[in-house]
Every structure is written in C-alpha cells, then in structure tokens.
C-alpha cells in the first residue's frame, strides 16, 4: 500500500476539480446570484463564446451586497477579468502554491485555447490530501487522552 | 526509538503501546511518513498554524453591518460571540446563500438569523492532519480554535493549511 503524497507529480485532475459553471458576459448580476445559490457554488466563470474572460466569486458577491449595488448590471462590469488559470497538466503542488501565495481559493483550469475544463478549489485539494493520506492518522484521538506516570508490570 | 504519533513521546523500540498516552503503536509500520509533508501533518499541532485572532460580533448585530465588515476587511467569516461564549459563525457563503439578491431587504435583521449556530471547533493541541480531515468532512473553510482553558483562541482557515503545506513541501 502506498500512502505517499505525490504533490509534485500528480496533476490537478486528481484534485477533485468541479465541472465549470459558466455564463456569458452580458448576464445580469441578479441572474448570477440566483445560479450560484441554485448550484450551491461559490464561483462562476464568465465566457465569451467558449473562451474564459472572467471569474466572479462569492468574495465579489459580498462586495456587491455591502455596497447595495444595482443587480441589473452585467456580470462583466464586476467580474475579475483575465483571471489566473492553470493548465490541466499542472501539478497539485503548483496549484497549492498558487493558492497559498496569490490568495486564490479557486483557479480555473483551461485548455490551450482558453476553454475552461474545470475549477480547482481549496476544498478539492483538502479532499485530495485526505484521500491520499493514511486513514489510520485520522483515527487517532485529537489529543492524547490517557497518561500513566510509571511503566506498569514487573 | 519509536515516536508516538499521538503525543510525541519517545518510546523504546518494540513496545506495543505508548508509555505516555497508551496509544497503540503496533500498526505504526503501516504509516511511516514517506515525505516531509506527511511527517509534518503527523507531528505538528494546530498551534503551529498560529490561529489568527478572531473577528467577532454579537448576535444582535444587523446582518448588513456584518457583510460590510467582511467586505471592507477582506475576510471570509466572523465569529458570533455573546458574553464571551462562541454561539455561531457567519461566512461569505452564508451571505451568498441566505441573503443572495435580498441583501438590501434583509439588512436590518440580526446576524443570529443567518449564522451557523454552534459551529464545530478544534482544540489548539490537535494534530494538523486531524484539522485537515475535519475541514474536509464538514466542508469548513474556517474553524474556531479553542485553547485548553476552553477559551476561544483564534480561527484557522483552509488557506492557513495550504500555506503550511507549501512551506513544508518546499523545505
């Protein structure tokens, strides 16, 4: 049995990427909010034709709620344009370091033409770690429970 | 020497259970850490992640004020604390799912109506591997950390765990 975490060799396809949820740039913020709720998702990709042009996340949604912004505006006016992306042959370790350094919690995965294939998320990475790590570790009590002062027996 | 995975006690080679905490050591050969990352996850406790001081509000704070606070500070969640006691957590996901397009109309209602009550917490001395597993299982992105005294110690986020992993895997 191998428990080794192969962060440097396994590709992000292993890290439980979500299929992309996407809309066109002229979709209203209101429609996007409803879609996110309906799909219980924290991000949506904005595509012009098939090509990725932006991402809108729950962090952006929070800003809009805080400002009481007009929900009839197109999503293209509030999305993050030209988001950071990963190609599908990137490693899990690359995704982790991009997330940690750039503060991203989700990164779109695209093909060489810029068509989104999925989204790699922090939660997918965590799940990957749990799946690839010895189960016995998780069965340990969270803290040492019983302590003996002295060795027992003869 | 055999290091106990639970408490870290150095045991004599060959003993069946840890002399300090009685944890079984018989299956240790199954999970000899293969990489630095594995070893760190196994050995380190949550306190090495240096839980951040929590941002807290009381349960009667209007939800709009909380949303503004999250947006302005660029944070993903707040803890709801009444009289020193943790009663809930409210995250940006809660805002998106529960307020959605009605953020304006619902704005004056208290945060207690939208928070997740009695959130799961972790002890500061629990293993990092344990935190990873609990966060994955519960789908949490933020977990309040309790000190041994039972007092709220801070919050750790998924991001803290990723930064930690990055440092370990490059090290």
pLDDT tens digit sequence for B109-145: 999 999 999 999 999 988 888 888 888 888 888 999 9
Site of tokens 């939660």: A123
The boundaries of the domain holding residue B158 are 48-170
Shared domain check, B131 and B75: yes
ipTM above 0.85, yes or no: no
Helix (H) / strand (E) containing B10 = strand B10-11
- In chain A, how many domains are there? 1
pTM over 0.90: no
Shared domain check, B28 and B57: no
Locate the chain A residue with the closest alpha carbon to B70: A62
The boundaries of the domain holding residue A31 are 12-136
- Please state, in angstroms and rounded to a whole number, the distance separating the CA atoms of residues B52 and B145: 9
Shared domain check, B16 and B98: no
CATH of the domain at A97: 3.10.580.10
Beta strands at A43-48 and B122-123: parallel, antiparallel or unpaired? unpaired
pLDDT cut 70: percent of chain A above it: 82
Contacts of A124 in chain B (CB under 8 A): none
Contacts of A125 in chain B (CB under 8 A): 162
Shared domain check, B88 and B5: no
- Whether the CB-CB separation of B3 and B18 falls below 8 Å is answered with no
User: What number of helices (H) and strands (E) belong to chain B?
Assistant: 6, 9
Shared domain check, B153 and B88: yes
Shared domain check, B140 and B88: yes
User: CB of B109 within 8 Å of any CB in chain A?
Assistant: no
Shared domain check, B140 and B84: yes
- In chain B, how many domains are there? 2
């Amino acid at each position: 049995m191998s428990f080794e975490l192969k962060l440097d060799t396994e590709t992000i396809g292993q890290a439980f990427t979500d299929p992309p949820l996407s809309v066109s740039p002229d979709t209203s913020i209101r429609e996007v909010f409803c879609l996110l709720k309906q799909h219980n998702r924290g991000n949506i990709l904005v595509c012009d034709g098939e090509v990725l042009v932006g991402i809108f996340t729950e962090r952006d949604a929070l800003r809009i709620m805080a400002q009481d912004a007009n929900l009839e505006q197109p999503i293209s006016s509030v999305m993050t344009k030209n988001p950071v992306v990963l190609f599908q042959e990137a490693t899990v370790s690359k995704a982790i370091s991009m997330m940690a350094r750039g503060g991203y919690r989700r990164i779109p995965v695209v093909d060489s033409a810029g068509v989104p294939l999925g989204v790699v998320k922090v939660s997918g990475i965590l799940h990957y770690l749990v799946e690839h790590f010895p189960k016995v570790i998780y069965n340990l009590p969270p803290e040492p429970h019983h302590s003996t002062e002295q060795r027992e027996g003869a | 020497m055999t290091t106990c995975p639970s408490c870290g006690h150095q045991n004599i080679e060959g003993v069946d259970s840890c002399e300090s905490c009685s944890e079984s050591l018989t299956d240790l050969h199954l999970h000899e850490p293969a990489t630095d990352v594995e070893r760190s996850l196994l050995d380190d406790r949550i306190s090495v992640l240096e839980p951040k001081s929590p941002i807290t509000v009381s349960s009667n704070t209007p939800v709009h004020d909380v949303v503004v606070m999250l947006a302005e500070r660029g944070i993903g969640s707040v803890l709801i604390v009444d009289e020193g006691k943790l009663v809930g957590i409210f995250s940006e996901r809660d805002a998106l799912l529960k307020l959605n397009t009605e953020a304006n109309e619902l704005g004056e209602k208290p945060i207690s109506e939208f928070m997740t009550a009695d959130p799961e917490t972790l002890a500061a001395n629990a293993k990092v591997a344990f935190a990873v597993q609990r966060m994955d299982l519960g789908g949490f992105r933020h977990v309040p950390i309790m000190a041994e005294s039972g007092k709220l110690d801070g919050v750790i986020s998924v991001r803290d765990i990723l930064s930690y992993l990055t440092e370990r895997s490059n090290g």
